[in-house]
Amino acid sequence: MNRTPTALAPWWLALVPALLLVTIPAPFGPSAASAQDEEKEEGEGSEEKKAEEPAPDPDSPEALKAKVAELQKRVAELELQVAIMDLEKLGAGVAVEGPDDGPKTTRVTLPKLWSGDAEALEKLKALPEVNVVYVDNPEFNDEAAAKLKEFPKISSLTIMSPALTGASLEHLKQIPSLGMLFLTGTAVGDEGLASLKDLPELKELSLSRTKVTDAGLATLAELPQLRTLYLIGTEVSDEAVAKLQEAKPEARIVR
């Protein structure tokens, strides 16, 4: 019987077992496990260093200064609350606006029912930088107005009182931040108007329903920053207004 000769296997198949026994070398550098071990050791070392660092001394000068500053802030907040409550008992309205750690604007309204001019003005000193004051009190006189010069940060002031005269302007001119002054319905006349030229920031002025005349109006030409003037209900003449407008072309005059 004829037999088909067995095909010879390729020569390289004999090498396969030997190749399988060859160990593939690890890549250069530390293994992943070694790297993790090193990171763990470094982390433990950092924790040990942190543990070795001394805790902050609560009685150090810096820590004590921080505590004092915090207490002073708290005391100031309590004093402000007390001052506001005292003023509200006298019929005044107080609003303090602004961020906790930033500049604040304090608005104070002294209405007709308020009966303690001098007392409340003294309490105003406990407020942070009074900026806006509105007085609507028929008994608010020149003596009471004189106390306002103790608040140099006032930028807006309204006084509606027939007891206020031009003599008060000698005191009000000592408020350098005053940018708006409304004296509507007061007894202010020509006397003292020349004092207003000493207010470098005064831009808006109301003399409506006051006793100002043509003579006093002429002195307003000396106000360096005047931009708006209200003369509603006054007896000033058209000629005097026109003359002032010519001297202050940038100003708006409302009659």
pLDDT per residue as tens digits for the range 213-245: 999 999 999 999 999 999 999 999 999 999 999
How do residues 84-102 score in pLDDT, each as one tens digit? 787 777 677 888 887 777 7
Residue 35 included in any domain? no
Residue 4 included in any domain? no
Residue 136 included in any domain? yes
Q: Where are the alpha helices (DSSP H) in the chain?
A: 16-20, 32-52, 61-89, 117-123, 142-146, 169-172, 214-219, 238-247
Mean pLDDT to the nearest integer, 185-199:
95
* Distance (Å, whole) CA 108 – CA 92: 7
Q: How many domains does the chain have?
A: 1
Amino acid letter, residue 68: V
Closest CA to 172 of 138, 192, 148, 200: 148
How do residues 135-166 score in pLDDT, each as one tens digit? 888 888 898 888 888 889 999 999 999 999 99
Residue 42 included in any domain? no
Q: How much is the CA Rg of the chain, to the nearest whole Å?
A: 42
How do residues 32-49 score in pLDDT, each as one tens digit? 555 555 555 555 555 555
Sheet holding 180-182, edge to edge: 93-97, 105-110, 130-136, 156-160, 180-182, 204-206, 228-230, 252-254
* Distance (Å, whole) CA 199 – CA 202: 6
In this structure, are residues 202 and 223 in contact, taking their beta carbons and an 8 Å threshold? yes
Residue 55 included in any domain? no
CATH number (domain holding residue 133): 3.80.10.10
Residue 116 included in any domain? yes
Structure confidence at residue 9 (pLDDT) = 53
* Distance (Å, whole) CA 161 – CA 187: 8
Query: Residue 196's domain spans which residues?
Result: 66-254
Residue 212 included in any domain? yes
* Distance (Å, whole) CA 99 – CA 107: 15
- Bridge partners for 182 per DSSP: 158, 206
Residue 17 included in any domain? no
